[in-house]
Amino acid sequence: MDMADVKELSGSDSDSVVYKTLLESTRAIPWKIDWATMKFAYIGPQIEPLLGWSQDSWLTVDDWASRMHPEDRDYVVNFCVAQSKAGVDHEADYRALTKDNGYVWIRDVVHVVRKPDGEVEALIGFMFDITERKKTEEKLLVLQKELEALSFKDGLTNIANRRRFNAAIELEWESARNGGGASGTPVSVLMLDIDFFKQYNDLYGHVQGDDCLIAIARTLSLALENPRDLVARFGGEEFIILLPGADAHAALKVAERCQRLIQKQGIAHAQSPHEQRVTLSIGVGTATPADYASPSDFIAAVDQQLYAAKRNGRNRIETV
């Protein structure tokens, strides 16, 4: 903004000095572009300490566009031109090139000045240095990713947790709905619970109880062959296995394999009536999305089978 513009805004010479002083003492950098010529009518002197380019080197919008990170340029220029043509105030974040070839994150907040007939006359705006904010945002994004990865894992056994399982079954349920036949492709679920685990803890202590859970989680992981199969810790001494695309026959085979591998592992449990070894009770279910209103209704049905396996003597498999 030259002095004439400031004067026009403020009305008197002394006011215009005040306004100019105010504009040039803020950390935000004020600027004005004349729409008809696409030339800078004004840019605050604060631009030089920030980017290194002298105040009088900002002549046209091309200087602005060319001093922008190439990855940001097309999007930001197109966006700002479109918004300005439409007469809409807007803001854009981009990396501005510094004279020594670095980049500074800028948020440009733009007001479109229109003539009484509605035609665009000029753009005025403020550039804010948001480098620190962007750095914090990037750090937060990395932390959030790490947290997401952590919160999908069970802290003790290192396999997937219930949250991960729920997310996976939602996805597989949807993809089964859209796959083959009118009712979709099958999804199978196994719920597995360690038998007499309270006695195990009481007898061997909680630390050994934890080791038993870790060993079982590892063995169950080994029982799966398809890369889309998923074993998760459902809670306490209960595990759950998702077998997308597996029919009832295939699901039963996996359940039997789990039982066999645990039996082979032979973890001692002096108070178990089943050869004094740690055993599992397993409920098995196979369904298509047409059979149940939701995955959780299906899981509840499989859970009933797990209870049946417990009721019928433990160390056994029951199927829906």
| Residues belonging to the active site | 237
| Contact map string, positions 97 to 136, toward ligand GTP, x by CB under 6 A | ----------------------------------------
Q: Is 9 in the site for ligand GTP (CB under 6 A)?
A: no
Please state the closest distance from residue 248 (CB atom) to ligand GTP, in A: 24
**Span 142-181, contacts to ligand GTP by CB under 6 A:** 156
Please report whether residue 198 would count as binding ligand GTP according to CB under 6 A: yes
Q: Are 80 and 87 in contact (CB under 8 A)?
A: no
Which residues pair with residue 123 across a beta bridge? 33, 112
Distance, CA of 52 to CA of 72 (rounded, Å): 20
Residue pair 51/99 in contact (Cβ under 8 Å)? The answer is yes
Q: Which is nearer to ligand GTP, 156 or 270 (CB)?
A: 156
Cβ 159 to ligand GTP, closest distance in Å? 13
Residue nearer to ligand GTP on the CB measure, 272 or 288: 272
Separation between Cα atoms, residue 212 and residue 237, nearest integer Å: 10
Question: Which residues, other chains included, contact 275 with Cβ-Cβ below 8 Å and sequence gap of 6+?
Answer: none
The bridge status of strand 280-287 relative to strand 238-244 is unpaired
DSSP annotation of 98 reads: P
> What does the radius of gyration of the chain's CA atoms come to, in whole angstroms?
33
Answer for which of 135, 145, 206, 260 binds ligand GTP (CB under 6 A) is 206
Judged by CB under 6 A, which of 39, 162, 314, 316 binds ligand GTP? 314
Beta-sheet pairing, 29-34 with 187-194: unpaired
Work out whether 73 is an interface residue with ligand GTP (CB under 6 A). Answer: no
> Least distance (Å) from ligand GTP to the CB of residue 138?
36
Unique residue bearing structure tokens 């992981």: 221
Stretch that binds ligand GTP, among 70-78, 124-132, 209-217, 251-259 (CB under 6 A): 209-217
Residue 193 near ligand GTP by CB under 6 A: yes
Q: Which is nearer to ligand GTP, 180 or 236 (CB)?
A: 236
Which region among 74-82, 101-109, 130-138, 189-197 touches ligand GTP (by CB under 6 A)?
A: 189-197
Contact string 224-253 vs ligand GTP (x = CB under 6 A): ------------xx----------------
The H or E element containing residue 287 is strand 280-287
Cα distance between residue 171 and residue 254, in whole Å: 21
Q: Tokens 């060993």 belong to which residue?
A: 215
CA–CA distance, 209 with 206 (Å, rounded to integer): 5
Residues contacting ligand GTP: total by CB under 6 A: 16
According to DSSP, residue 36 is labeled T
Name the residue with the smallest CB distance to ligand GTP: 209
Contact set with ligand GTP (CB under 6 A): 156, 193-198, 201, 206, 209-210, 213, 236-237, 310, 314
